Amino acid sequence: MQQIQPSTCTEVTWTVNVGGFRIFAESAIAPPQAVLGRVTQMRTIPEKPAAMQIALSTIVPFVLGLCATRSTMVIGDQYGWNTVPFVLVGWCVALGLSATWLNRVVFRRTKTLLPFLAAVFVILLFWLWQRQAFTMLVPPSGLTYGYFLKPEGMKARFWALTCPFRVGLTCLFICFIAALVSAWRAGFRSLLACIVPWWLTAFLIFSLPSMYLDAQGNASVFI
C-alpha cells in the first residue's frame, strides 16, 4: 500500500466505539494548500447587495444633479449671489455623502471610495482657483454682460473660466477612470454602471460656476 506523505495532504483519524470495540478509520483529504486556496477564494467573492438599495443609491445622486442647477439659480436670485458659494459647498457635501452611501451599499470597500472623495476635493480646489482669479482680474464693479469678449477681459476669461474649467474636467475624468479601475479590480464588474449617475452629477455641479461666467461674461445667453 502506498503511504501518503503528510506534506502533501492532511490525514484524519476517526475513532468510533461499537459494541465495546474501538474501530479506527483513516481518511485523506485535499492538500492544505488547496483547502486554503478554496477558502481564500470564497472569502474574496463579493457579496451581492440588495437591488432596492442599489437603485436608491444610484438614483439619488442623479436627482441631486437635476435639482442642483435650478435650485442654485433660484437661491441666487432670491437671496443674492453672495450666498451662492455656500450653496455650492453644500452641493459638494451632498456629493460626498452620496458617494459614501453608494460605496457602502454597492462596493463595501474603502479603496473604491477614494476616487470619489478625490473628485470632491478637485471640485472645491478649482472653484477656489476660479474665485481667486475672478477677484483679481474682474473689475470691482462686477462682471458685466459680454465683458470677456472685450480686449480687456480676455485675460480674465482665460484664468477665471477657460483654463480652470478645462484642467478641472481633465482631473475629474482621471478620477472617474480611477474609480472604474478600482471597482473592476475589487470584483464588482457587473455594477460599474451604478457609479455613472454620480459622476455625471459631479461633472454638472463642477460646471455650475462656469455656466454663470460663460452666460454673463461671454454673453452666451441672450437677455
pLDDT, one tens digit per residue, over 115-125 is 999 999 999 99
Helix, coil or strand: residue 46? coil
pLDDT of residue 19: 46
pLDDT of residue 89: 94
Element of type H or E holding 15: strand 10-18
d(CA 14, CA 189): 45
pLDDT of residue 158: 95
d(CA 205, CA 199): 10
The contacts of residue 105 (CB under 8 Å, 6+ apart) are 49, 53, 54, 56, 57
pLDDT of residue 113: 93
d(CA 159, CA 144): 17
pTM of the entire predicted model: 0.74
The closest alpha carbon to 85, from 48, 124, 30, 32, belongs to: 124
pLDDT of residue 49: 59
Averaged confidence pLDDT in the chain: 80
Amino acid, single-letter form, for residue 148: F
As given in the structure block, the three cell numbers for residue 167 are 484642467
Element of type H or E holding 24: strand 21-29
In the chain, where does DSSP find H-type helix?
32-44, 51-79, 84-102, 114-137, 154-157, 163-185, 196-206, 208-217
Each residue's pLDDT expressed in tens, for the chain with a length of 223 residues: 444 444 444 444 444 444 444 444 444 444 545 444 444 444 444 555 577 888 888 888 888 888 888 888 888 888 887 888 999 999 999 999 999 999 988 887 788 999 999 999 999 999 999 999 999 999 988 889 999 999 999 999 999 999 999 999 999 999 999 999 998 988 877 788 889 999 999 999 999 999 989 988 887 765 4
As given in the structure block, the three cell numbers for residue 40 are 481564500
| Structure confidence by residue, pLDDT tens digits, 47-75 | 555 778 888 888 888 888 888 888 888 88
